[in-house]
Structure 1
Amino acid sequence: MLAWALRPSPVPVNTAHVRVGPFVDSVVEEGRTQLRETWNVSVPIAGYLQRVDLEVGDSVEEGAVLFQLEPSPAPALDVRTRQQAEDNLQAAQARLQAAQANLETARADRRFAEAEYQRYRQLHQRNLISTAELEQRQNQRDRLRALENSAASGVEVARFEVESARALLAVAIGQRSEADQPVLQVHAPVSGLVLTRYRCCEGSVSAGEPILELGRLADLEIQVDLLSMDAVRLHPGLDVVITGWGGEPLAGSVRRIAPAGFTRTSALGVDEQRVPVIVDFAGELDRGELGIGSGYRVDVEFVIWEAEEVMQIPTSALFRHRGEWAVFVIEEGRASLRSVETGRRQGLVSQIVAGLTEGEVVITHPGERVSEGIRVAPDE
Structure 2
Amino acid sequence: MRSRPWIRPLLWSLVGLALLALLAWALRPAPVPVSVARVSLAPFVDSVTEEGRTRLRDTWNVSVPIAGYLQRVTLEVGDEVERGQTLFRLEPTPAPALDPRARQQAEDNLQAAEARLRATQANLETARAERRFAEAEYARYRTLHQRNLVSTADLDQRQSQRDRQRAIENAAASSVEAARFEVESARAVLAVASGQRGDEEHPELEVRAPISGTVLTRYRCCEGSVAAGEPILELGDLADLEVQVDLLSMDAVRVRPDMAVRLSGWGGEAALDGRVRRIEPTGFTRVSALGVDEQRVPVIIDFDGEAEPAALGLGSGFRVDAEFLVWQADAVVQLPTSALFRADGQWVVFRVEEGRARQAPVTLGRRSGLVTQLLDGLEVGDLVITHPGERVAEGVRVRIDG
Please report the TM-score for the alignment, with normalisation by the length of structure 2: 0.66
Offset at residue 182 of structure 1 (A) = 3.8
Aligned to 1:313: 335
Show the 5 A alignment for 1:31-42: 31-42=52-63
Show the 5 A alignment for 1:277-296: 277-296=299-318
Aligned to 2:215: 194
SS at match of 1:289: coil
Partner Cα separation in structure 1 for residue 266 and residue 314 of structure 2:
8
Match of 1:347 among 369, 380, 390: 369
Matched, 1:67 2:81: no
Aligned to 1:237: 258
Matched, 1:24 2:26: no
Matched, 1:213 2:234: yes
Match of 2:320 among 298, 320, 328: 298
Residues 222-268 of structure 1: per-residue CA shift (max 9 Å, x gap): 11111111111101111111111111211001111111111111122
SS at match of 1:312: strand
Q: How many residues align?
A: 277
Whether the aligned pair in 2 keeps the contact of 1:68 and 1:182 (CA below 8 Å) is: no
Show the 5 A alignment for 1:132-143: none
Whether the aligned pair in 2 keeps the contact of 1:43 and 1:205 (CA below 8 Å) is: yes
SS at match of 2:375: strand
Aligned to 1:271: 293
Whether the aligned pair in 2 keeps the contact of 1:262 and 1:275 (CA below 8 Å) is: yes
Whether the aligned pair in 1 keeps the contact of 2:59 and 2:234 (CA below 8 Å) is: yes
Offset at residue 194 of structure 1 (A) = 0.7
SS at match of 2:239: helix
Offset at residue 347 of structure 1 (A) = 1.4
State the percentage of identical aligned residues.
69
Match of 1:359 among 381, 390, 395: 381
Offset at residue 300 of structure 1 (A) = 1.0
Partner Cα separation in structure 1 for residue 293 and residue 251 of structure 2:
16
Partner Cα separation in structure 1 for residue 390 and residue 90 of structure 2:
80
Offset at residue 17 of structure 1 (A) = 1.0
Offset at residue 188 of structure 1 (A) = 0.8
Partner Cα separation in structure 2 for residue 202 and residue 7 of structure 1:
89
Whether the aligned pair in 1 keeps the contact of 2:56 and 2:237 (CA below 8 Å) is: yes
Matched, 1:374 2:396: yes
Whether the aligned pair in 2 keeps the contact of 1:42 and 1:209 (CA below 8 Å) is: yes
Offset at residue 206 of structure 1 (A) = 1.1
Aligned to 1:204: 225
Matched, 1:9 2:49: no
Cα root mean square deviation, aligned: 1.8
Whether the aligned pair in 2 keeps the contact of 1:333 and 1:376 (CA below 8 Å) is: yes
Offset at residue 6 of structure 1 (A) = 4.3
SS at match of 1:290: coil
Max radius of gyration: which structure? 2
1:284/1:13 Cα in 2 relative to 1: closer, same or farther (>3 Å)? closer
SS at match of 2:310: helix
Residues 253-297 of structure 1: per-residue CA shift (max 9 Å, x gap): 111111111111112222211111111111343333211111111
SS at match of 2:311: helix
Offset at residue 55 of structure 1 (A) = 1.2
Whether the aligned pair in 1 keeps the contact of 2:347 and 2:363 (CA below 8 Å) is: yes
Matched, 1:323 2:345: yes
For structure 2, the residue ranges without an aligned partner over 5 or more in a row are 1-20, 97-199
Partner Cα separation in structure 1 for residue 272 and residue 333 of structure 2:
29
Aligned to 2:69: 48
Amino acid at match of 1:58: D
SS at match of 1:316: helix
Residues 23-72 of structure 1: per-residue CA shift (max 9 Å, x gap): 11111111111111100011111112122121111111111111111222
Aligned to 2:148: none
